[in-house]
Amino acid sequence: MGGLYSKLRGLPSNMQSVQGKWAGRFIWAAVIQGLLAVVATLLIIDPLSIFGASSGYFSPAKVIAGNGAGTWLFTGYISYLVVGVVAMAVTAIFYFYIEGIQGKVYKGATNVLAWAHLVFMNVGVAGSMFLMMWGGYVGGWASAASSGGGGGETALQIHETILGQLTYPIGALIALAALGAILGGLGYIVRSRQN
């Protein structure tokens, strides 16, 4: 790492100023997504149970433990950590390589593709995964026995009235995230091949 740092310090000043424009944007996106993941984690680990939750509150931890629709909550959460936080930070490395190591500035069409990558991927990932978590939570609550504070609904009712309603919006948001990644990859290929 020291050798890389000394190489970067030796770059001309005009290259130093652009060595991480897009990398920095993706790092900040990962930081914001990470903050949202911390909030989701706090809600899932159920800190309210320590203080004796109010009668209208149903624990997300119970939803995950209850299986069924709760798997949507767990899957959305894990996917969000991997794609929303970790993949966003790793993506910054690709942009750093083009900007910082190769010294190639994103401009024109490649700049538009990078913006599409940043916006579409972040909106698509966060939107789809949080919808999945929300659907899992509501579905898990609905499947719990009414004597335990749940909705007492059957799995069929939950899939028809809750989870089934979310599949198209979740799918559309995942498609938006994939489109962002494809456009970003296209911009990366184009920019890396240009002088």
Residue 157 located in a structural domain: yes
- The model scores a pTM over 0.85: no
2 domain residue, yes or no: no
Instruction: Cite the DSSP H helix spans in the chain.
Output: 2-9, 13-16, 21-44, 60-65, 70-79, 87-96, 109-143, 155-158, 164-193
For 102-153, write each residue's pLDDT tens digit. Answer: 999 999 999 999 999 999 999 999 999 999 999 999 998 898 888 877 888 9
Which residues make Cβ contacts (< 8 Å) with residue 129, sequence separation at least 6? 76, 77, 79, 80, 83, 84
Q: Which two tokens stand for residue 13?
A: 């000043």
* Number of domains within the chain: 1
pLDDT for res 56: 57
Q: Which two tokens stand for residue 169?
A: 């919006």
- The answer as to whether 9 is a domain residue is no
Which has the closest alpha carbon to 176: 109, 123, 112? Answer: 123
7 occurs within a structural domain: no
What span, in angstroms and rounded, lies between the C-alpha atoms of 86 and 105? Answer: 24
Is 4 inside any structural domain? no
When pLDDT is averaged across residues 69-78 and rounded to a whole number, the result is 90
At CA 137, angle to CA 90 and CA 52, rounded to 5? 110
Find the angle CA(60)-CA(156)-CA(160) to the nearest 5 degrees. Answer: 85
32 is a domain residue: yes
Which residue, 129, 88, 85, 95, is CA-closest to 19? 95
pLDDT tens per residue across span 97-115: 999 999 999 999 999 999 9
Contacts of 122 (CB under 8 A, 6+ apart): 29, 33, 84, 88, 180
118, part of any domain: yes
Residue with tokens 């970067």: 8
Q: How do residues 167-189 score in pLDDT, each as one tens digit?
A: 999 999 999 999 999 999 999 99
Question: What's the one-letter identity of residue 148?
Answer: G
Range of the domain at 56: 16-193
Which tokens go with 184?
């970003």
Does residue 3 lie in a domain region? no
| Amino acid at residue number 109 | A
